Amino acid sequence: MAHEMAATTTTSRVAPTHPLEPLGPDELAAAVAIVRREKSLDARALFETITLREPAKKAVRGFTPGTQFEREAFVVVLDRNAGATFEAVVSLSQNRVTSWTHVPGVQPRILAEEMEEVTRLVKADPRYLEGLRSRGIDDLDKVWLDAFAVGNFGAEEERTLRLIRPHSFYVERPQDNPHVRPIEGLVPVVDMNAMKVLRVEDNGVKPLPGDPGHYSAADQPSLRAPLARLEITQPDGPDFRVEGHKVTWQNWSFRVGFTPREGLVLHTLSFTDGGRDRPVIYRASVSELVVPYAETSGDHYRNHSFDLGESGLGTCVNALKLGCDCVGAIHYFDVHMASARGAVVRYPNAICLHEEDYGVLWKHTHPITRDTAVRRSRRLVVSSFYTVGNYDYGIFWYLYLDGTIQFEAKLTGILYTGAIETGVTPAYGRLVAPNLNAMIHEHYFNLRLDMSVDGDANAVMEVEADLVPTGPGNPHGNAHGARETLIESERSGARDIKPELGRYWKVVNRSRTSAMGWHPGYRLVPGASVKPMHQPGSPFMRRAGFVAHDLWVTAYDPRELYAPGDWVNQGIDGPGLPEWARADRPLVDTDVVLWYTLGVFHLPRPEDFPIMPVEYTGFMLKPTGFFDRNPTLDLPQSHCHASKATARVPAP
């Protein structure tokens, strides 16, 4: 596994203090024990998911500290003997399984424990060993197998069997870069339920790339002098407070959550304004991250990895380190999850909470008095990092003093590569080292934003520039306003960005009106994005139909959490957002959810090898009519210190 983890030895029961507190280690262990006891599971059964079954919004909002509340776990079990998948609801309060449902025709995500078994199985298969020998490789200790989902291209075995197609890489030393020397063309196809190698496909021998792609400091021929020390200190301590998983900072309040599939989740974000706690978002999370590739050779056409639905983003979380991942006065949240075999595992320092200075918030020099008023901006950062195969993703949420919310993803790690013959120019990739093809691909993040602007009764307006043609009403050609369109139902709720008109979407509460006549709202300010590169009707677009539009607006349904639907691995046609939108539920003055997709086009370059500098993508949610005026007027004057080197000296 790419992340750090340690087995939990906690035995004492810690009572949760809020209905949205993530399941603790004792609760996870209890859920495993209850399911095993009641369903007589043998050792081959695997737990794909054990997570909190979040209570209804009404129960969360009606909760008062000290009162009793029901605790339930949602559990997904893979019975490999029967080739069957089950969803369970476990009442931890009642110590029993309250729901056990067989879900036919689906495959849970690929589990790390399965991949360990697959590696041992493949390395013992004579057909695979012969393929290695034909490539001049006989040391199995130098062969590493990477999990590679099969997708679904219409074959019968993809419908009926639980499959994996691991790709092989040559790794000279354990500490070497494991993704840059592909053993091209040798692909075992494994039935993971039966744990049987069905066949070994050989698409032809290609040269083994020779560049080891070293990126560690110890392997560099020389290092530049260390950077001058830069220290971030907060002598008075941080400005945030943490109670369990509840965080308060300045006027913000929210709860930190985490699931094995989504990773970091933010709950119940609200802003205190004039002594009143005003909700903004009920739940915010990444709902899917999918990475489709352009390469057509070998079996690379199959590569469109769903990093949540096939891999489980949360299970790939890193242990963060002070001074490297986060700097300053830090609060870390540990995460506990159950392994596929039911062991409770602690992931230390999985979520980082800290503050950052963010330059000037606002400033003005008075033209008469020449007095300058300045306020420094500061933001609260909630972040986590995930290693999914070759890629590393940072998921960052920023909260600002003026009520702005920002999402940012940071993309880094190692390029996905294939071997290529000497002298050949790849058509759908770029040569980044001798015989090494870095494949063209995209990253699509979909964010699920369960909005609650001053309450659940919200509406969504599309806002864009309204250009007035030159004529009697616009004789000088300068007039332009803003046009607002109410999104009335789900069939009209699939929308696209239009940068040339500054298009954005505004969630408003029309039951409230400010002193200036505004309905309180928050607008989604799009970031840079790309449209789908795969052709309509292609296997990728059938599975990831949500990328067809930048924004979808749906009516709230607690069962709709993931843009491509619940069951992604080996799925062929969703369901997900395109199917839900066909219900055409009304969207006016009701509980609405925004689903926003960010697309990043990655055309590899030499500077991305052997490890990629961070690429950034994201968007903002900005208050629009939510406040009567600038909400930071009550900030004290920022301290300004004149430097001897730069202070202006009066002329003699």
Active-site residue (options: 391, 444, 522, 562): 391
- Any residues with CB less than 8 A from the CB of 51 and at least 6 apart, and which? 22, 23, 73, 74, 259, 260, 261
- Any residues with CB less than 8 A from the CB of 515 and at least 6 apart, and which? 628
Q: What span, in angstroms and rounded, lies between the C-alpha atoms of 135 and 133? A: 5
Give me the half-sphere count of Cα atoms (radius 13 Å) on the Cβ side of residue 99. 11
Contact present, 475 and 509 (Cβ < 8 Å): no
- Whether 444 sits among the annotated catalytic residues: the reply is no
DSSP secondary structure string for all residues of 283-332: EEEEEEEEEEB---STTGGG-EEETTTTT-GGGGBPPP-BTTTB-SS-EE
In this structure, what DSSP letter does residue 471 have?
B
Phi and psi at 577, nearest 5°, equal: -55, -45
Q: What span, in angstroms and rounded, lies between the C-alpha atoms of 234 and 327? A: 11
- Whether 307 sits among the annotated catalytic residues: the reply is yes
Reply yes or no: is the peptide bond before residue 575 cis, omega within 30 of 0.
Answer: yes
Phi and psi at 244, nearest 5°, equal: 65, -115
Contact present, 457 and 509 (Cβ < 8 Å): yes
Helices H, strands E: what count in the chain?
7, 33
Active-site residue (options: 26, 299, 307, 456): 307
Alpha-carbon distances, residue 349 vs 247, 258, 332, 367 (angstroms): 16, 13, 5, 50
Q: What span, in angstroms and rounded, lies between the C-alpha atoms of 270 and 453? A: 9
If DSSP codes are grouped into helix, strand and coil, which group holds residue 381?
strand
Residues involved in catalysis: 307, 391
